[in-house]
Amino acid sequence: MHKVTPKVFLIGETRIVEDGLNDYLEHIGIPDWASDGPSDSEKLIEFYGRLCYRSFEPGMNANVTRIREGNDKYIGNILNVGHGSVIEHAMLNFVFADVSRVLTHELVRHRQGTAISQESLRFVRLTELGLWVPTCIQENPEAVALFEETFKHLEGLQLKLAETFDLDNMKNFGIKKVITSAMRRIAPIGLVTTIGWSVNPRALRHIIEMRTSRHAEEEIRIIFCEVARIVIERYPNVFSGYDTEEVDGLLEYTTKNRKV
């Protein structure tokens, strides 16, 4: 058994295919149009918003005599008016490591606008169990001892079952997978795991508010406080407009643009 701290890694993001974008801009007669967005994700969001209204330049749409200049102002208006559909075009790719299955069971409730790939315990045999201890348990030495004792016992059962079935020497992977799958049934829900999670910015804006709320579970608050810190720094225009308040040592994020 070993103790861990939940971790967030941003490992990917949507990128513009410059040749294709330039060909399209040439096609509609504005080859010199460019966005000043700080990331490709924000440039794409602006592009798709302008595509909806043909508002790349004044005069392209007879109903439009002036346009908003600048990615920050353009996306700010998208957030204000609630034109959230164009925010869905970008995707951000995360890995949440050293998190419990308590967290992943809650995370998968957010299905819209996400993609999920989780470490499979049908294939990955448990040996050493990882443990994150919630603050309310950490504050009570007797409770910490009970947590650790339980995890050590369950870890020992995993090792004993592997020895009983001689899994280290078993050649038939199909049978080994069946046994490995059965063994996970006595693993604790607090077991450390890894999950890959991709999300579009519209969905993420909502989830940040939901999961940094003071009413959310502590571990998922830790994860989404870190997610919020990363995305606000890297994508400042699309993740603008948040107010923060520290609650129980963690930031709670709220925004007036909930209709997005």
Domain ranges, ordered by start, for the chain: 13-88, 122-186
Cα radius of gyration (the chain): 24
Q: Cα separation of 251 and 245, whole Å?
A: 5
Tens digits of residue pLDDT in 217-228: 999 999 999 999
The yes-or-no verdict on residue 65 having pLDDT over 90 is no
Choose, from 101, 205, 211, 221, the residue flagged as catalytic. 211
Place 259 in a pLDDT band, splitting at 50, 70 and 90.
low
How many residues appear in the chain? 260
- Distances in whole angstroms, Cα of residue 214 to Cα of each of 83, 141, 159, 240: 28, 25, 39, 20
Q: What is the pLDDT of residue 125?
A: 95
The whole-number average pLDDT for the span 101-126 is 95
pTM of the model: 0.94
Determine the Cα–Cα distance for residues 108 and 91; give it in Å rounded to an integer: 17
Is residue 202 annotated as part of the catalytic site, yes or no?
no
Q: What angle do CA 97, 241, 13 make, to 5 degrees?
A: 40
Q: What one-character DSSP code corresponds to residue 119?
A: -
Gap between the Cα atoms of 223 and 231, Å rounded: 12
Look over the chain and give the mean of its residue pLDDT values, rounded to a whole number. Answer: 95
